[in-house]
Structure 1
Amino acid sequence: MNELISVAVPVSPLRQRLIDDMSMRHFSRETQRNYIRDVGRFATFLGRPPDTATADDLRSFQIDQRDNGVPVPTMNSIVAALRFFFNHTLDRPDLARRLVRIKQMRKLPVVLSRDEIARLLGATTCLKHQAALSVAYGAGLRVAEVSMLKVRDVDSERMLLRVERGKGGQYRNAMLPADLLTLLRQWWKLGQEQGVMHRDGWLFPGQHAMKPISTRQLHRIVVEAARAAGITKRVCPHTLRHSFATHLLEDGVDIRIIQALLGHAKLENTAFYTKVATRTVRAVISPLDKLGLFTPGAAPPG
């Protein structure tokens, strides 16, 4: 009988050094995968190892991206990967400075109303999906953070969710609302009955209990729930995080507290939600209204 022998593909020393640099900084698996892909894209363009690149090579690469219609967000993501590679893996900050990050107009995020959120969560097809999306909205987590939560990350005594795999490998505490804890306990009980939940396991297991639910599956779950709820807005998992921040802002929560809950490094990223907080705008009284010129019984101007 013929035996199939799997041969491990050797990893070049340079690539392994990049992986080690990212692992040392606790980069998420998704970030590491993206950085490796983007550095590899540059190496393919170059036609030789990327550690032999010159400033002219970087300039030619970015011009080629522009001419080929690469979207601006993608170009900036590649810049982030290459800057890390040249700054940390090669210790060549002189080359990293040659990379140009392209400015882009930031679009206003899609935000769901509270009624739409309730309809979306009610339209999920199972308790696990409802619990996962409720975490995204109730705690304001990124989709990758929801995916990587473990059962032990739920701290019911302090009413916190420990986010150990946040953006950039950052650790933080997220809020754990009482209603969300109730829902998670229901999911824990059902998950144990189904044999997929374990105290040291993932809070939201994937198709295989030893692996977490994928971000792609969470995206599909949100889209399908929105469609079932009759929501016509373009919705993704991050929409729930946008809605969390906007609703807190509309309720008068201090913006620096929201910044901490979201794990934003810069306040300007959190302040962006003031542009979509419609309830906050409606609460402001215009100077025109204070003149009382057009209210019934007001004296005509003159």
Structure 2
Amino acid sequence: MAAHPDEPDTAPRQPKLLERMRIHLRTRHYSLRTEESYLDWARRFILYHNKRHPQEMGAAEVEAFLSHLAVDRQVSASTQNQAKAALLYLYRQVLGIDLPWLDEVVQARRPRRLPVVLTPAEVRSLLQHMQGTAGLIAELLYGTGMRLMEGLRLRVKDVEFARREVVVREGKGGKDRITVLPENLIIPLQTQLQKARALHEKDLADGFGRVLLPGALGVKYPNADKSWAWQWVFPSPVRSMDPRPDARTGEHLERRHHVYPESVQRAVREAARAARIAKPVTPHVLRHSFATHLLQAGYDIRTVQELLGHADVNTTMIYTHVMNKGGRGVLSPLDAL
């Protein structure tokens, strides 16, 4: 029965497509970075086709968009594949449309590149040109082989000083693993934790101090987000509003996040420039250097695979191609003259 013209419309408003996609991603506990990335690709896809609804489009429009990215925008293969994954999620999970043709859309092949690896002398020079929290994070990345976000998301409870190990939670692929804690970082990390604890106690005194917890732990354990064990090892110097609503109250809380990755990336770039390293240096290069230097030291490749968290040993094998052997260990005929 239709509502009377004078009566207010009490029917709940259906969220728009991108809002539905956001809710769907959050319900399945996707990370904020993945959420923002998928929503951005869906938005670009819609705008590219003059704001047509995805339900009105098909294989031709998806192929045209992916081709536009590769040909006109000249994006990398990994970027194009990320866009395809976002559109797959949009159609299959959000719209509930199983489109077998989307699997047949050509997926760009990622070129197999050799990783950039620093020599031990270059690593030493790089770290000498870094200081403060960013310098400690860089040392941790090189000393443990962690990815940048794995290091930044490190919680107090996951640093095992007595066992000389670091527990990496929800690494790439959602897997946990254990890596080595360097002896040289024990005292610096303990000092960092003292600073972080003082900051946390000040937040608690000011009525804050609630940290973001993974999944639904905040609902299951209401006060766990205030406990010291769950705090970040590298907290941000400033508090900010959480873009996601709290699982219990539905409100946006003011929290202290971990250090932003951009600050560490910038510090590494500046240190590489100051050290006059003629290679493209990023925090991830320290992970590559960790793996290569362990293999050069004679450690078994399976051990290195476990420390890095690679699912396939073939991924770890790439570091054998950049070991310091001078062109695969071959003596150049010029040197034999």
- TM-score range (shorter-chain normalised) is 0.7 to 0.9
Cα distance, 1:183 vs structure 2: 2.3
Matched, 1:37 2:83: no
Matched, 1:61 2:65: yes
| Pick aligned residue for 1:258 from 283, 304, 321 | 304
| Pick aligned residue for 2:80 from 75, 93, 100 | 75
**Structure 1 CA distance, aligned partners of 2:274 and 2:14?**
45
Unaligned 5+ residue runs, structure 2? Answer: 1-12, 204-227, 240-255
| Pick aligned residue for 1:231 from 267, 277, 282 | 277
**Structure 1 CA distance, aligned partners of 2:31 and 2:16?**
21
| TM-score, scaled to structure 2 | 0.72
Identity rate, percent:
32
Q: Could you say which residue in structure 2 is the equivalent of 1:50? A: 54
Cα distance, 1:239 vs structure 2: 0.6
Specify the code of the residue in structure 2 equivalent to 1:168: G
CA gap of 1:35–1:175, structure 2 versus 1, over 3 A, is farther
Q: Could you say which residue in structure 2 is the equivalent of 1:108? A: 114
Specify the code of the residue in structure 1 equivalent to 2:270: E
Cα distance, 1:108 vs structure 2: 1.7
Matched, 1:205 2:205: no
**Structure 2 CA distance, aligned partners of 1:261 and 1:208?**
32
Specify the code of the residue in structure 2 equivalent to 1:62: L
Q: Secondary structure at the match of 2:233?
A: coil
Specify the code of the residue in structure 2 equivalent to 1:29: L
Cα distance, 1:97 vs structure 2: 0.4
| TM-score, scaled to structure 1 | 0.80
Q: Could you say which residue in structure 2 is the equivalent of 1:273? A: 319
Q: Secondary structure at the match of 2:116?
A: coil
Matched, 1:182 2:187: yes
**Structure 2 CA distance, aligned partners of 1:114 and 1:157?**
27
Q: Could you say which residue in structure 1 is the equivalent of 2:149? A: 144
| Pick aligned residue for 2:124 from 118, 124, 140 | 118
Cα distance, 1:66 vs structure 2: 3.1
Matched, 1:159 2:164: yes
Cα distance, 1:20 vs structure 2: 5.0
Cα distance, 1:226 vs structure 2: 1.7
Q: Could you say which residue in structure 1 is the equivalent of 2:7? A: none
- The 8 Å contact of residues 39 and 85 in structure 1, kept in 2 or not, is answered as yes
**Structure 1 CA distance, aligned partners of 2:108 and 2:138?**
33
**Cα offsets for 1:43-88 (capped at 9, x unmatched):** 2223223344311221222222233133123222212322343444
Cα distance, 1:246 vs structure 2: 0.9
